[in-house]
Amino acid sequence: MYKDTFNDNVTLYTLLNDRRPTKDGLFPIHYRITYKRERQYFKSGKYCSYSDWELVIDESKKGSKRATIIDLRNEIQLGHETIKENIKYVIANNNGIFSFDKLNNLTKKNISDTLNSAFQAKIDNTKMDGKMGTSVYYNCALQSIKKFMGDNIKFSDITVDWLNKYQKYMIKNNATYTTIGMYCRAIRSIMNEALKNSIITVKDYPFGKGKYEIPTGESRKMALTIQQVGNLMKAEANETEKKYRDLWYFSYLCNGINLADLCNLKKTDIKDDVIRWYRQKTINTSKKKVKIEAVVLPQMYDIIDRWTIKEKNTDFIFPFLTGQESPEDTRKIIQKITAAINKYVKQIALRIGISEISTYTARHSFATVLKRSGANIALISESLGHTDLKTTNDYLASFEIDEKKRNALKLVPE
């Protein structure tokens, strides 16, 4: 009932994926396709417990005739049969050769029938790929959307009018335009995939010029001047504050490296006084894989020496990760370190009159200090790991309002 084999070494198997339960103790039901030792999973959008799964697959067991079990069994079987027919179609229309890409285009169209299930598939996929931050982002968006419109939102529901109503709902519930923009970009990403897989048509696509345009929140000015950076590093501080200030300063000097990348830096990444790394944030999304390079200044070597635990045998520069952590544990460790840096560096900053500072400030300050010093925008863009200059220009634009104000005052006669 739930397993089929085909020529060209293809196997279809429907299973309960028990790797990670939901908060309710349920597990996702997946369709697994195996081809030449490669496996891909397709989400059914359905969940159930171990005990209910036993009733679904064994109709002889007591309780297997319950209406909810029968409905679930029928829905799962329908999905299985749909993928089965799609596999046959791909092989028959591809010179007898199976292709995951061609199957994806057919299957996603048939089984991703609601926005909710498409969101859940995205959440599950990013979690299985170890992209915990992305998974949390899509989950937050999904929970907000569900509160607004429920558990069964059809793709056809997502219109310009629907998005405008969702925006008003968010504003009424005190959401910022930054949050609204984030969640609407998540919806747009799901709709882009739906458009790509022919689940919706261009005519039904609600985003873009003349349709719904995603709002953008006002960027926070989080860049320090070179003088403020100097004052921060010279300020009196206790030992704990100094320790976490080191990490903030290292991030600033190291091209504004984010904490996930900093924690993953290895000793072998340093060669000839240059440190090189791939951005964790974009390594799986960028077509062109380009390593970021930063010169290792003497101040950075001093910080590394202060943080090095001599008796600890590790490949990592900083002693936070072992390489054996799960994606969830890695995320928790990085969040804990980030919180500590924000807490202790802010304590120092407040004492010298700097009110806004965080790990983000280090990255913004790196870029803005270089720009104000006359550095080439292309060099700044490359150092930040941006893929185009427009991103860098947009990134830097909001930090220059104070400079514009100072220049404007020069127009006024004394």
Work out the mean pLDDT of the chain and round it to a whole number. Answer: 86
* 243 phi and psi angles, rounded to 5 deg: -60, -50
Average pLDDT over residues 303-322: 85
Task: Name the band, by pLDDT with cuts 50, 70 and 90, for residue 407.
Answer: low
Q: Give the orientation angle of helix 132-149 with respect to helix 177-196, to 10 degrees.
A: 100
pLDDT at 105 over 70: no
> Which pLDDT score, from 0 to 100, does residue 403 have?
63
Rounded distance, CA 387 to CA 403, Å? 27
What is this structure's pTM? 0.61
Rounded distance, CA 377 to CA 367, Å? 9
Buried b (16+ CB within 10 A) or exposed e, 72-83: bbeebeebbebb
Average pLDDT over residues 377-403: 75
Q: What domains are defined for the chain?
A: 1-111 (no CATH), 114-218 (1.10.150), 226-409 (1.10.443.10)
* 154 phi and psi angles, rounded to 5 deg: -80, 155
Closest CA to 170 of 189, 155, 186: 186
Task: Tell me which of 5-19, 36-50, 148-162, 215-229 is least confident.
Answer: 215-229
* pLDDT tens string 258-295: 999 999 999 999 999 999 998 877 665 555 667 899 99
